[in-house]
Amino acid sequence: MVLLSLILLPILLLLLYFIVRPRPVTIPIKNRHVFITGGSSGIGLALAHQAASQGARVSLLARSLNKLQEAKESIRRSSGLDVSIFSADVRDYDAVQKAVNDAGPIDVLVVNQGVFVPQELDKQGLDEIKFMIDVNLMGSFNVIKAALPLMKERKDRLPASISLISSQAGQVGIYGYTAYSASKFGLRGLAEALQQEVIADNIHVSVVYPPDTDTPGFEKENEVRPELTKLLAGSSGSMKADEVAKKALDGIKSGSFTVPCNFEGHMLAIATAGLSPERSFLMAFIEVASVGVLRLVGLFFQWNWYQTIENWHAKKNSKFAIIDLSIYTQE
C-alpha cells in the first residue's frame, strides 16, 4: 500500500501541474492604477495605504466625501502620495460609471464596499435585507460593469485584476447572518463566472474571505449581534484591518482566486473549494488529499454549532418556564 502511494503521488502531482487553470500569474502593483470602493475606512483604507506604499496610483470611492478627504490626507501623510477620491453610492450605476470614467483606466479593481446588519430573518425588515443585497451584491455588479470596458481596453496589456472582498460568512452560513451570507455567497458565483469571461483579456479575479475584522463597522455590528450569533461566530477571533489588507494584497498580486486571511480561512477554503479555479498545483494537491478529512472536521463543527443552538433554546425555554411558574404561584 505504501509502495502504491509512493508511485501514485508523483503521477497525481504531475497531472495536477498540467490541468490546473488558470495558469499562475503575477499582478504588478507599482505604477498601476488601483481603484478601491469602500476605500474611506477599514479594510479599504488599509489596502489603499499598502498599495500607495508599493508605488500604485490609488483612487478611492465611497459615499462620504468628508471621510474620503480624511482618508486622502492620511495617505498623503504616510506615503507622501496624493490619491484621487470619488463620492458615489455603489447602488447608483450612473454615479459609479461617471466616477470610473473620471478616474481613467483601472489596472487593479478592488470591490470592497459592504454593509452588515446581523439579525434573524423573521425579525429583520425587508428594507434591511434589500439594503445589504443592493450594496454588497448589486453594488459589486455596478462597479465591475462600469469598470470592465476600460479595463479591457487598457494599453499596457499587463495582467490586470478584479478582486471582491467577501467574508468567511460567504463560505459558511451562520445564525443571524441570513441576508448577509446570501449577499456574500453571491460574490463567489459572480467571480467564478466572471473569471471565465475575462481570462482572454488577461484579467484575473480574486475573492478575499476576511474573518471578523476590527473596523468601525465591526464595532457597530457587535452592538446588535444576536446572542446566539456571538456564541457561534465569536470563537474564530478577529484580525486587524492592516493584517487583512496585507493578506488581500498578497493574494491579488499572486492572482489567487481564493484568498483566505487566517488559519480558519485556509481550512474553509480547502473544505469549500468545489469547482473554484486553482492556479497552484501544490494547493490543488492539498485540496485533493485533505478534502475527506476536512469534511469530517466540518461535520464536527456543525455538530458543535447545533448543540450550542439546542442548548441555548433549552436554557431559554427553561427560563421562561420558571418565570411563568413564578407568576402562577404569586396568583
Nearest to 34 by CA among 245, 265, 257: 245
| 166 and 209 Cβ atoms separated by less than 8 Å | yes
Q: What is the DSSP string of 134-176?
A: IIIIIHHHHHHHHHHHHHHT-SS---EEEEEE--GGGTS--TT
Give the bridge partners for 209, in sequence order.
260
Kindly list the catalytic residues.
166, 180, 184
Helices (H), the chain: 2-19, 42-53, 65-79, 93-103, 126-133, 139-152, 178-198, 216-224, 227-233, 241-253, 263-271, 281-330
Ramachandran quadrant class, 80 (left: phi over 0; alpha: psi -120 to 50; beta: rest):
left
Q: In Å, how far are 117, 123, 209, 254, 308 from 226, measured between CA atoms? A: 10, 11, 22, 38, 14
Grid coordinates belonging to 171: 463560505
CA distance 318 to 67: 48
